[in-house]
Structure 1
């Protein structure tokens, strides 16, 4: 394809993606769902499942393979900016004595669904063959457990903000636990994916390098950034460019050692120092929101390209029902029990459990990794994608259900976040 034709196709596809994604977000908001869920559904609708099935020629013309790398690049860039802003806004001080609770919740909410998923894969291995899965390998068993253990940090963060939970104990505990939980999940998955290639780090080295990088970021990055950003009084535009570059570099390191880019981006945001008094930098936060809102829909379209509704038959729908029930029960049950164990009251604990059930974006990333590594058949991939969507769609109504009997708002965090800048919901331009 000629360069001018490539530019034309990309610009046309970008226009359609942005309009469809934000229209989907508006519709989701009208249906009392998070804005980001509507964007996710719009991305899948623009893939082969809907647009490709109804108008294959139009789908091919709008999304030729040649523009795939550019769209993927935009998607990854948006993901890094989004998670960097999430990490920057996350004030770990509000945890106070709840830091232990977040760690307990993360471990329990990973181990219980992990055991359930791996156990179900072993128990129903014969049924999985009906979904074109071959004889199970240890890596596939581990992946089945990880698929049920994932929590979508970006979607959870959007739900927390849109429900006014960002500065409450259950909101902060859920977001903090989800970040730690997914780090554990990606570390386990990285170990399962280790083959025998000479250029691939063994899982022990992955864990060691990742731990060393986290320690370096926590100890060295804050004082260096504080001196560079505030002592020298950099221009706001230059400060923004420097920090996005820092987030991209951190994401590059974590990706290189086998942990996904989203954790490097989140870590970069966490270690970025705030202004004096702990206030958020408005000149940094507003453009971060704008950039991620504009570009994040590209990721949803990329994720939807491998989903095919035509592969779902009666076996697939029954498997979807069973997997969704298992995913919801194990995640909510384990998250709630762990939060209670960590000292939260009944209503706040149930809120944490429901929030952790949202899988969405991060689950799609993990499923794509499993598909590319040959750990999933195409049919099982589609089933698990719909499980991710179902658990995400169920989060909002379940959250309203568990909060309604209490007749009160969740407990405010003990140390309020001092932020003198308005924080609009991520991926929601208005």
Structure 2
């Protein structure tokens, strides 16, 4: 089993990061390649084309070890996400960012939950025998999520980091993440299966735990790990252990490990002035990016293209279309109502449609909690992949529309800088320093 585990780990790391590099060469986010690699190494492709090689590389006996590595990578990644989460960046754009976040969450949430009720017969064909309230809410969550890490990468790679649409999209997505993770945690607690206590008692325990984390954990960590002058490597190890312990406690409480890891990052002390500690952040990114292919492969094991009927393929097209239209539409309309220029509003709407890793994390949690059947999980995983792939082409379309609308204007070269111009009569939003 050690031989199988080492060979499969070598394949996962090589194929995962190789696919990520190839995706970047195609002007797609690194995470898209890793997600595609995880699906390719699963039963749908490798398992169907080379079943003997698949059984040799991924025997059932090593499943626990691979899942353990996947959970560690996920906990470290979400710990870093929580540590970087800072709603103070909203600044003077707070009202616009809040409007964008609420609209781009509420509209997809309503459409997703409504469609789950309307198309319950089609969901029954996808292996969803009954629809509980938690399943209906989760269907809405699946459409409403925006992936902040993928969004940030797209913003940087397109030169939008210091523009109004780039800053607004990242700010709104950060706030949307807070809303989304909160609703997701409540949904998992309510629909997470049998528990020894009534769910309301578990909810009370979870609230007490989160209050202790938010009010007590930060000053205690600062006293023990910062003021004692610990070596940065030792402090990193202890904080990762803290994140894993928090993830384990929330898993026990029925909130899933992702909630504890994210909360541990949120309460982790910052440097003076609220800045992030580079000695902590840099190795967190290195460790999580190195191990994340294990999470994609473990998630890909549940993807079963062969289980999809005509209803499943139709659902994939419909869900992907709804996911794009609701996000782009709600973001654009909310931006216009907030006084943004038409081109800026379009760009923000397209950026908020990016999903990627955050969507896959939520889907995996829902699948483990029994809120998704395997065929419906497969549909939603491919929705996450397609919506992320479509973000770059949609940005190109918006860019061309912006250039066409401004043909003849002085100095217009079709660059992204045109999207940084505030609408006439609207004060320009301040642009922070790079980094």
- The TM-score with structure 1 as length reference comes to 0.85
Among 373, 380, 385, the alignment partner of 2:381 is: 385
Q: Which residue of 1 aligns with 2:348?
A: 352
For the pair 1:22 / 2:22, whether they are aligned, the reply is: no
Q: CA deviation at 1:184?
A: 3.4
Contact persistence 1:106–1:180 (CA under 8 A): no
Query: What are the equivalent positions in structure 2 for 1:1-400 lying under 5 Å apart?
Result: 6-165=1-160, 168-190=166-188, 192-193=190-191, 197-199=195-197, 201-202=199-200, 205-206=202-203, 208-341=204-337, 344-400=340-396
Question: For the residues of structure 1 that align with 2:335 and 2:248, how far apart are their CA atoms?
Answer: 33
User: 1:170-216 CA deviation, whole Å, 9 max, x = no partner?
Assistant: 243133123213223313422550556433533x852x555544444
Q: CA deviation at 1:157?
A: 4.1
Q: Which residue of 2 aligns with 1:428?
A: none
Look up the SS of the partner of 2:416 in the other structure: coil
Q: CA deviation at 1:302?
A: 0.4
Contact persistence 1:170–1:348 (CA under 8 A): no
Q: Rate the CA distance shift 1:119–1:91 in 2: closer, same or farther, 3 A.
A: closer
Q: CA deviation at 1:50?
A: 0.8
Look up the SS of the partner of 2:199 in the other structure: coil
Question: For the residues of structure 2 that align with 1:356 and 1:51, how far apart are their CA atoms?
Answer: 33
Give the CA RMSD over aligned residues.
2.9
Bigger shift: residues 132-141 or 46-55? 132-141
What 5-or-longer segments of structure 1 have no aligned partner?
A: 1-5, 420-430
User: 1:119-152 CA deviation, whole Å, 9 max, x = no partner?
Assistant: 2222223333433443544443333222222333
Question: For the residues of structure 2 that align with 1:414 and 1:227, how far apart are their CA atoms?
Answer: 35
Contact persistence 1:340–1:346 (CA under 8 A): yes
Contact persistence 1:152–1:362 (CA under 8 A): yes
Question: For the residues of structure 2 that align with 1:290 and 1:123, how far apart are their CA atoms?
Answer: 44
Q: Rate the CA distance shift 1:322–1:311 in 2: closer, same or farther, 3 A.
A: same
Number of equivalent positions: 412
Contact persistence 1:46–1:304 (CA under 8 A): yes
User: 1:354-383 CA deviation, whole Å, 9 max, x = no partner?
Assistant: 233223333333333444444433322222
Q: Rate the CA distance shift 1:258–1:101 in 2: closer, same or farther, 3 A.
A: farther
What 5-or-longer segments of structure 2 have no aligned partner?
A: 404-414, 421-427
Q: CA deviation at 1:221?
A: 3.5
Contact persistence 1:252–1:261 (CA under 8 A): yes
Contact persistence 2:75–2:244 (CA under 8 A): yes
Question: For the residues of structure 1 that align with 2:433 and 2:68, how far apart are their CA atoms?
Answer: 34
Q: Which residue of 2 aligns with 1:422?
A: none
Contact persistence 2:128–2:372 (CA under 8 A): yes
Bigger shift: residues 25-34 or 225-234? 225-234
Question: For the residues of structure 1 that align with 2:66 and 2:40, how far apart are their CA atoms?
Answer: 16
Q: Which residue of 1 aligns with 2:432?
A: 416
